[in-house]
Amino acid sequence: MHVLLTGGTGVLGRFIAAGLLEAGHEVTFLGRTEPEDSRVGFIPWELSAADIDLPAADALVHCALEHVPGRYRGGEGDDPAGFLLANVDGTRKLFQAAKTAGVRHCVFLSSRAVYADNGQWDVLTEAAAIRPDTLYGQVKLAGEEALQALCTEHFSGTSLRATGIYGLPPGVATHKWSELFSNFRNGATVLPRVGTEVHGEDLAAAVLLVLEKVGERASPFEVYNVSDLLLDRQDLLKLYAEATGCETALPPRAPGPVGVMEPGKLKVLGWAPGGMGKLREFVEAVATEVN
């Protein structure tokens, strides 16, 4: 299939593009930066664009976000109005343009940030309470609602509510824990934290799965959680210490609580994330680079 992809040169987009290409699909980036891979097509575009004419394609995967570099939550910086305008209006226009162009399926990379922060160790299914407490979460929820409003028998939409993404993105030398590992190695104070994580390759597999199984769905709009691990920073750094021989004292366990995302709905489709085994492989691989 021919897939249009926004945010293709970002962290998530790199994993998704690699997964689509490996599966043999045609990929065209929509964005400001041309792809490094000659196999990928390119159309100049940005979320704040007034209009866009899209080419014929089978699907659109939208994971672009206008934000302060390096920040998602808090990505509005000192311009919350501009953050909302670019991301909410831009996303709505993009989905409408895709439908007008005859695209049959749109996949939106949403976030666990759409869920209410209830301060409990609750299991968050796709039916859990929705009450985002950040502008980032509000933007993601608005994107979901914009897509759902356009869905019909002939135009389907999927929202993937993704958790934190780890892994080394293709073509990038650093990852989300590069600074954390460096600080730990050098004996700096590391604050406790617990959260949910999924490897970028497993996120890409989820995107590929919903694209390929769109004909099996019962509803024109579906939502899926994409999460694999509940990970305490102490456990992560213990793996890193074992792999590197680092003897720095581990941080205390985080008190929590957090909501634990349940991806069972996606697993019914056949999604099988790598779990602790994949996390260990990743940590050992980046530890080898240090040694």
DSSP string, the chain: -EEEEESTTSHHHHHHHHHHHHTT-EEEEEESS--SSTTSEEEE--TT-S---PPP-SEEEE-----STT-STTTTTT-HHHHHIIIIIHHHHHHHHHHHTT--EEEEEEEGGGB---SS--EE-TTS-B---SHHHHHHHHHHHHHHHH-BTTBEEEEEEE-EEES--TT-S--TTHHHHHHHHTT------EEEEEEHHHHHHHHHHHHHTGGG-SSSEEEEEE--EEEEHHHHHHHHHHHHT--PPPPPPP-----EE--HHHHHTT----HHHHHHHHHHHHHHHH-
The confidence score (pLDDT) of residue 73 equals: 58
- Structural domains in the chain, CATH included, are 2-290 (3.40.50.720)
Q: pLDDT, tens digit, for every residue of 24-39?
A: 999 999 999 899 899 9
Residue 274 has pLDDT above 90, yes or no: yes
The confidence score (pLDDT) of residue 116 equals: 82
Q: In the predicted model, what is the mean pLDDT of the chain?
A: 92
* pLDDT mean over 123-130: 94
Residue 71 has pLDDT above 60, yes or no: no
Residue 256 has pLDDT above 80, yes or no: yes
Q: Give the predicted TM-score (pTM) of the model.
A: 0.94
Residue 70 has pLDDT above 70, yes or no: no
* pLDDT mean over 5-22: 96
pLDDT tier for residue 67 given thresholds of 50, 70 and 90? low
